[in-house]
A and B are shown apart, each in its own frame.
Chain A
Amino acid sequence: MNTVILNEVRRGFYLDSVALMRFSRAIATMDGIEEAALMMASPSNRQIMADANLLNATSDDTEGGDLIIGIRAATQQAAEAALEEANQLLDQPRSSGGDSAEWRPKSIRAAVNADPDASLALISVAGDFAAAEARKALRKGLHVMMFSDNVSIADEVSLKHEARDLGLLVMGPDCGTAILNGTPLAFANKVTSGDIGLIGASGTGTQEISCLISQGGGGISQAIGVGGRDLKEEIGGITTLMALDALDQDANTRHIVVISKPPAPSVAKQVVERIAASQKSFTVCFIGADDWDLPQNAGFAPSLKSAAEHALGDTPLFADFDFAAVAKPGPAPRIRGLFSGGTLCAEAQTLFKAAGEAVASNAPIPGATDMAGGASAHALIDLGSDEYTQGRPHPMIDPGVRDAALSDALKDKEIGIVLVDVVIGYGAHEDPAGHLIESLGNMHQGDTLIIASVTGTDQDPQGRKAQISKLESAGILVAPSNADAARLALTCLQQNG
């Protein structure tokens, strides 16, 4: 029997038993070690070590204030290696605790206790749970931004009524974008600061307009999201009206842009009355409507691009983009639109309709058909719509959601042109253009044209210029805005004859 028992004693050396137990475990698992322990030499500990057959004569003369290192190994070599390791563990400089994991609260209650100055809660849990969390936040006196969708209308009504009574904003549900006091929240872009305020009933509309205003030399004071359903009759525009009050009173806001699908008539009436009562000037963009009856201090814009141009004082944007030069003939008669942004999809539908083209969509504007009735129309699809995001991330977070639809479109012989949006900024994928190109690489593109625009700015993490370059190098036709991309697609269609 070659078992070796090796002991070393450190006189008058103290270390807490838990630390010693952890060192013991580290030594005991070394090669050739049968058992090992580091323990303070109290009578009961010595008994434990003796019972484990770890002691030899070296430790006979020890007292409570001494540390015993006891090692039992198959070979002398293994025992000595373990002893050296034990000594290193005992002598190593302690880390200063600088890399200890920071405590993160797990509840709104604990978060507010830890930071009583917080004024906003951004909620993005699954829809089933979002309303309960929003309620907790409101009752702690926080404004709420609800990125979550799949929240019931009844919950939205109840939350907004409670919030209004408390003087708090509920931005959402299904609110993708806000920029408050210069801070981009959820999906938002780094835009120039300025005197134009935005109130948006959905995210990509706010994103596109804020970026176009920024590119056009203007700036944003605040961008308040209100959620996709705020202007429905059941909700009554509660958040929109509160946002109008807030921006009307904001000294840094000179002009206000309102972006939404066309509201329910009763709600539109209240919004228009509120606009009329203000001294400031307004741009109203109800996407899908051709026109709207507005007071003198407000102008109607049918598209996101025209809204930005109006807000900038009727300044045309990208007037020198040469459609004819960039366009190529589309090889087949139909256009398929695959959008991650709902409002970007709506804007494209608006422009197609204005050009007299038949349009179908899963989120149709007035005058477009739904997917069932649109066999011969151009299908423009909102991939961020609720039916695509049940239990899945939004396509702006996970561009892979678009891949299957893109592959199908490329295989369809009737489709000659595919129209996509590429949205960058905070919250978006780190390289949407790169992902699109990589996915295309695994598909057979054939003659199909791919047309894109990049919603974002050069100050965004991904960099707008860089994203455009990448797309162009892969043979994708790039237009300077979503509206222009739709127009470019139509131009390509017409070139086909």
Chain B
Amino acid sequence: MEKIEKANQEALERMLAADPVLVDVVPASVAIPALKDRMILHAGPPIEWADMCGPMQGAIMGIAVFEGWADDLQDAARQAAAGAFEFHPNHHFDAVGPMTGMTTVSQPLMVVENKTYNNRAYCALNEGLGKVMRFGGNDAEVLARLAWLRDDFGPAVGKALRSGDGIPLKHLIARGLSMGDEMHQRNVACSGLLLRELAPALARTSNDNEALATALAFIGGNDQFFLNVAMAMGKSIMDPVRNIEGSSVVTAMCRNGTEFGIRVSGTGDTWFTAPVEMPEGLYFPGFTEEDANPDMGDSTIVETIGLGGFAMGASPAVAGFVGAGAASEAGNFTRTMSEIATGENPEWTIPAMDYLGVPTGIDIRLVLETGLAPTINTGIAHKEPGVGQVGAGVVRAPMKCFEKALLAFAESVGVK
């Protein structure tokens, strides 16, 4: 017992000691040398083509065309079914991606470096709202935007970041929490703060006013721009927490639209998977639960570090998704998550809860003991590829993942 407690304290300390800095934007082939042509990284635990949901297949078809590996979408689908591409989780290559989470060689990836442990994590740039690839969009408009990100916007942001020492992120998160963000569904404050940090460097490193204006407008017009930064940050914080012998702390949570997967520090890289659950939420006009795609994306890395659903007390509006949830009950979600966390984060505090630190270090033993699964705030995609977001809500990590994990974990520490 004591060994596990000590190991979990070590895990918590590593999480709190992290120093994540947004340092660059580079092509995926540069960031991830092992990434080759015809390799497609996706969100969630491992999955084969035949098991993928509509949006995921739609995104793969689109990215295959974008990279020039297929003539058109039908050809891409044929090739995919025939095994012409290699599919891997983002997590296996130091990366994360929201929703479908497509990562391929030419995608510009944001680089977050954890200066304490010198590790790096990557995430693509947020495309914006509406018809986008992360929701399975794959038409000419989507691909054109990806091209603009690859050729113009990505390199511009990279240049701006390289001109300085990068943007430290922990402090930004702390400020965002006090401004109503929880970094999963609410990122508007941090997106604004990020723009304040980036704008001067973007201006200084640009020689094209029009391009600069477009870039600033692109960031300024996207309330969720910071989500992808938060995700890369989350991965950079959690990666050094992997492989602590005897630790029952969760190091990753992610979904591929079919299965939910978790990893636990003491059991290394093993995925513990179970079918994803359906979010409970509210829908945009014209859409209902019938239209919803099952839960998807690597964005649950945000809950893994104590934000998102865990920090709902900082973002009372989001509590409105669940049942009759009054905004004043948002703090209850955070308190409930405290029951399954190893400790709290003294640097990321919630003013409305008397500066309670966000619950940090999900312990699989506590999840099973209390029967409380991690609460996740998520967007809801349409189940048809390319339609886009149809709503938002709250979903729980499946208890089965934690049951499987505990059995394996018990074996790893020699308990029958």
Contacts and interface: CB of A to CB of B under 8 A. Distances in A.
Given A18-B318, A100-B329, A28 B285 contact: yes
A36 B328 CA distance: 27
A48 B332 contact: no
A106 B285 contact: no
A36 B321 contact: no
B338 A19 contact: no
A13 to B, nearest CB: 16
Interface of A: 16-19, 21-22, 24-25, 28, 35-37, 39, 44, 47-49, 51-52, 54, 70, 95, 97, 100-101, 103, 105-107, 109-110, 113
Contact of A44 (B129, B286, B329, B331): B129
B286 A21 contact: no
A51 B286 CA distance: 8
A25 B282 contact: yes
Interface of B: 129-130, 282-286, 317-318, 320-321, 326-329, 331-332, 335-336, 338-339, 366, 369-372, 391-392
A417 B396 CA distance: 59
B320 A36 contact: no
B372 A35 contact: no
11 contacts: A19-B327, A21-B392, A22-B282, A25-B283, A44-B129, A47-B130, A49-B285, A52-B286, A100-B332, A109-B339, A110-B338
Given A21-B391, A44-B129, A54-B285, 10 more contacts: A16-B317, A19-B320, A35-B286, A39-B285, A49-B285, A101-B329, A103-B332, A106-B336, A106-B370, A113-B338
B6 to A, nearest CB: 16
A106 B339 contact: yes
A106 B282 CA distance: 28
Nearest to B338: A110
B339 A110 contact: yes
Contacts of B335: 103, 105, 110
Contact of A18 (B130, B285, B317, B329): B317
B285 A35 contact: yes
Nearest to B129: A44
Nearest to B320: A18
B328 A97 contact: yes
Contacts of A17: 317
Contacts of B285: 24, 28, 35-37, 39, 48-49, 52, 54, 70
B384 to A, nearest CB: 14
A487 to B, nearest CB: 52
Contacts of A47: 130
Contact of A105 (B284, B327, B328, B339): B339
A304 B195 CA distance: 79
Contacts of A22: 282, 320
B130 A101 contact: no
Interface centre among A37, A47, A110 (most CB of B within 10 A): A110
